[in-house]
Amino acid sequence: MSFLSPLAGLIALGGAVPLVAFLRSESARRRVTELLRIPEPSKPLRLGPPAAALTVAALLGLAATQPTFTRDAKRRVRTDAEAWFVLDTSRSMKASSSPSSPTRLDRAKSVAIRLRNELGNVPVGVASITDRVLPHLFPTGDEDTFAVTVREVMGVERPPPSNGFSTRITTLGSIGRIATDNFFSQNATKRLIVLFTDGETKSFADDTLGVIFRKPPIVHSLFVRVSRKGERVWNADLPDPYYRPDPSSRQNLRQLAATSGGTAVDAASFDRLVRVAKRDLGSGPSVVFDRQQRELSLAPWIACLAFLPLGFLLWRRNV
């Protein structure tokens, strides 16, 4: 424990004022009781108020020194594993049950952050996918940076797709670029891609995905479906007349999972999602990522304790 302002504790000397006043009044009281032959009050009645006043002064003086507990915290990060969380940011991810309901992208962000927290010391990166894959944050062990990137950076058509005139933009088959374009570091022998999407995509009959994902080091894949039945894209309070839900979205993800050797999971099955992700990443060696000092200030709690003897003084004054 350390004291940030040790000299500030001198304010406790202010407790000498009520002590001197008590001693003077005590001397006068004794003379009066002797003259009038009044019985002496008990010690608790005589000594309670000055003891309470001194306690208040001591506690406030201790609080003023700002006593603080300091603890060194080490954050570790896996050296053999990395994961990429890819969020579909196409326009269909604006769909929701009602104009005021969370959108598909909102739900995808929430599930992504929860899953990232479950993975602990595994470095995780963030990318978006429309008709192409774009990285936004390379794998890091910093959970706060990850969460800020997902919440603040990721948005529908941010950036917009390269071909904005097509009715259906998303090309989920382009996810193979993550496995082939050096998104993973060379040391990462355990690799995982988690795609959060509504499954509404252009056709991607591409058998090369299986070769890409199974080529050593193997890239495991998870496809998380965030769409729900009856959702629409809303313009203010009116549904977009040009948007039509894709009835084959679930089958699209199953096909993508079968082609890449991965797993398709519904976002509502979060426990299963965690189990599969942890199974694919396994366990491995780690190193210290950074060191942090966590401080707990005791001053507010000590200052609050001073209200107890102060309350006693106010009570005695009114008795």
pLDDT of residue 71: 72
pLDDT of residue 84: 97
Farthest-apart Cα atoms in the chain, separation: 110
pLDDT of residue 74: 76
- Predicted TM-score (pTM) of the model is 0.71
Weakly modelled stretches of the chain, pLDDT under 70? 1, 9-30, 32-48, 72-73, 163-170, 203-207, 291-294, 312-313, 316-319
Residue 230, CA distances (Å) to 227, 239, 251, 270 in order? 9, 11, 17, 22
Tell me: domain 80-284, CATH 3.40.50.970, correct? no
**Nearest residue to 132 via CA among 196, 76, 176:** 176
- Helix/strand/coil for 116: helix
Amino acid at the residue 161: P
pLDDT of residue 100: 93
